[in-house]
Amino acid sequence: MIRYAIKRLLLAIPTLFVMLTAIFVLVRLVPGDAAAVILGDQASEASLRALRTTLGLDQPVYMQYLSFIGDVLTGDLGRSLSSGRSVGQEVLLVLPYTIELTLAAIVIGVALGLPLGIATAVRRNGWVDYAGRLISLVGLSFPAFVSGILLLIVFAIQLGWFPVLNSGSSGDPIERLRNLALPAFNLGIIMMAYVVRVTRSSMLGVLGEDYIRTARAKGVRPGRLVIRHALRNGLIPIITVVGLYFGTLIGNSVLTEIIFNRPGLGKLILGALNARDYTLLQGLMIIFAICVIAVNTLTDLAYGLVDPRVKYK
Amino acid sequence: MQQNQETALDIRGLRTEFKVGGRWYPAVRDLSLDVAENETLAIVGESGSGKSVTALSILRLLPQAGARIGAGEVLFEGRDLTKLSEREMSSVRGNSIAMIFQEPMTSLNPTMTVGEQIAEAITIHRGASQADAMAEALRLLKEVKIPSADSRLHDYPHQFSGGMRQRVMIAMALACRPKVLLADEPTTALDVTIQAQVLMQLDELKEAYGMSVVFITHNLGVVAQIADRVAVMYAGEVVELATVDALFANPAHPYTVALLRTMPRADRATESLEPIPGSVPPVTAMPEGCAYASRCPLKQPSCEDKRPELLPFDGPGHQVRCPVRLEQTRG
Amino acid sequence: MGAAVSSSPARPGGLWLAFSKNRLSWVGLALLAIIIIVAIFAPLIAPYDPLEQNIVARLEPPSAEFLLGTDSYGRDVLSRLIYGTRISLTVGFIAILIAMTIGSMIGILAGYVGGVFDQIVMGLLDVMLSFPTLLLGLMIAAMLGASLENLIIAIAITEIAPFARIARAPTISLKQRDFVEAGRALGFGPVRIMGVHILPNMISDVVVMSSLWMASAIRTEASLSFIGLGVPPPTPTWGSMIREGFENILDAWWLAVFPSLAILLTVLALNLLGDALRDAIDPKLRAE
Domain final position from B130, B154, B175: B175
Question: Do B118 and B82 sit in the same domain of this protein?
Answer: no
**pLDDT at residue C226 is higher than 50:** yes
Contact C139 A26 (CB under 8 A): yes
Can you tell me the distance from the alpha carbon of C158 to that of C169, in angstroms, rounded to the nearest whole number?
Answer: 20
Question: Do B226 and B192 sit in the same domain of this protein?
Answer: yes
Under a CB-based contact definition with an 8 Å cutoff, are residues A207 and A233 in contact? Answer: no
Higher-confidence residue of C176 and C231: namely C231
Query: Quick check: is B103 in a domain?
Result: no
Closest C-chain CA to A272: C142
Query: Quick check: is B1 in a domain?
Result: no
Half-sphere exposure of B44 (CA within 13 A, CB side): 32
Closest A-chain CA to C252: A153
Interface of B with A in 232-291 (CB under 8 A): none
Nearest to B91 by CA among B193, B16, B149, B178: B178
* CATH class of the domain comprising A91-311: mainly alpha
Question: Do B202 and B220 sit in the same domain of this protein?
Answer: yes
Nearest to A11 by CA among A308, A220, A306, A298: A298
Chain A contact partners (≥3 CB pairs within 8 A): B, C
Residue B328 burial by Cβ neighbours in a 10 Å radius (0-12, 13-18, 19+)? exposed
DSSP helix/strand/coil, B110: coil
Interface test with A, best of B81, B88, B89, B90 (most A CBs within 10 A): B90
Domain borders along chain C are 12-50+236-288, 89-206
Interface test with B, best of A125, A129, A214, A310 (most B CBs within 10 A): A214
Higher-confidence residue of C140 and C201: namely C140
DSSP helix/strand/coil, A247: helix
3-state secondary structure chain C: CHHHCCCCCCCHHHHHHHHHHCHHHHHHHHHHHHHHHHHHCHHHHCCCCCCCCCHHHCCCCCCCCCCCCECCCCCEHHHHHHHHHHHHHHHHHHHHHHHHHHHHHHHHHHHHHCHHHHHHHHHHHHHHHHCCHHHHHHHHHHHHCCCHHHHHHHHHHHCHHHHHHHHHHHHHHHHCCHHHHHHHHCCCCHHHHHHHHHHHHHHHHHHHHHHHHHHHHHHHHHHHHHHCCCCCCCCCCHHHHHHHHHHCCCCCHHHHHHHHHHHHHHHHHHHHHHHHHHHHHCHHHHCC
Question: Do B82 and B113 sit in the same domain of this protein?
Answer: no
Interface of B with A in 154-213 (CB under 8 A): 156, 158-159, 169, 172
Closest C-chain CA to A19: C127
Taking one residue from A and the other from B, the number of pairs with CB-CB distance under 8 angstroms is 77
Contact C133 A140 (CB under 8 A): no
Q: How far is A222 from chain C (nearest CA, A)?
A: 23
Chain B contact partners (≥3 CB pairs within 8 A): A
Nearest to A118 by CA among A199, A207, A237: A199
Closest B-chain CA to A232: B111
Q: What is the mean pLDDT of each run of 10 residues along chain A (313 residues)?
A: 77 82 79 68 76 74 83 81 82 87 92 93 85 88 87 83 66 76 90 91 88 92 89 85 81 88 86 82 85 82 74 48
- Per the prediction, chain C carries an average pLDDT of 79
Q: How confident is the model over B189-212, as a mean pLDDT?
A: 86
Query: Quick check: is B275 in a domain?
Result: yes
Domain final position from B175, B192, B214: B175
Interface test with C, best of A13, A145, A278 (most C CBs within 10 A): A145
Q: Could you tell me where the DSSP H helices lie in B32-103? A: 51-59, 86-92
Query: pLDDT at position B239, please?
Result: 92
Question: Do B125 and B183 sit in the same domain of this protein?
Answer: no
Question: Do B118 and B212 sit in the same domain of this protein?
Answer: no
Question: Do B201 and B299 sit in the same domain of this protein?
Answer: yes
Question: Do B226 and B305 sit in the same domain of this protein?
Answer: yes
| Residue range of the domain that includes B227 | 7-96+179-330
Question: Do B170 and B183 sit in the same domain of this protein?
Answer: no
Interface test with A, best of B88, B109, B113 (most A CBs within 10 A): B109
Partner-chain residue, chosen from C130, C143, C260, that has the shortest CB–CB distance to A150:
C260
Domain final position from B160, B175, B190: B175
Topology of domain C89-206 in CATH is: MetI-like fold (1.10.3720)
**Partner C contacted by A294 (CB < 8 A):** no
Partner-chain residue, chosen from C223, C256, C264, that has the shortest CB–CB distance to A255:
C223
Share of chain C above pLDDT 90, in %: 5
Query: pLDDT at position A217, please?
Result: 92
Question: Do B92 and B27 sit in the same domain of this protein?
Answer: yes
Question: What's the total number of domains in chain B?
Answer: 2
Half-sphere exposure of A200 (CA within 13 A, CB side): 26
Query: pLDDT at position B172, please?
Result: 92
Contact B87 A221 (CB under 8 A): yes
Query: Quick check: is B145 in a domain?
Result: yes
Task: Identify all chain B residues contacting A225, using CB atoms and an 8 Å cutoff.
Answer: none
Q: What pTM value is reported for the model?
A: 0.81
Residue B199's alpha-carbon distances to B226, B266, B286, B316, C97, in angstroms, are 7, 20, 35, 27, 61
> How confident is the model over C110-134, as pLDDT tens digits?
888 888 888 888 878 877 777 788 8
**Partner C contacted by A285 (CB < 8 A):** yes
Can you tell me the distance from the alpha carbon of C279 to that of C24, in angstroms, rounded to the nearest whole number?
Answer: 12
Partner-chain residue, chosen from B106, B110, B120, that has the shortest CB–CB distance to A218:
B120
Question: Do B169 and B190 sit in the same domain of this protein?
Answer: no
Contact A137 C145 (CB under 8 A): no
Partner-chain residue, chosen from A220, A221, A307, that has the shortest CB–CB distance to B111:
A307
Q: How far is A140 from chain C (nearest CA, A)?
A: 8
Please give the ipTM for the structure prediction: 0.86
Q: How confident is the model over B217-234, as a mean pLDDT?
A: 89
Query: pLDDT at position C286, please?
Result: 40
**pLDDT at residue B331 is higher than 70:** no
Confidence class for position C16, pLDDT limits 50, 70, 90? low
Can you say how many angstroms the Cα of residue C15 is from the centroid of all Cα atoms in its chain?
Answer: 22
Parts of chain A belonging to CATH 1.10.3720.10: 91-311
Provide the CATH number for the domain around residue B196: 3.40.50.300
Partner-chain residue, chosen from B59, B86, B125, that has the shortest CB–CB distance to A217:
B59
Contact B121 A232 (CB under 8 A): no
Confidence class for position B317, pLDDT limits 50, 70, 90? confident
Closest C-chain CA to A156: C250
Contact A146 C130 (CB under 8 A): no
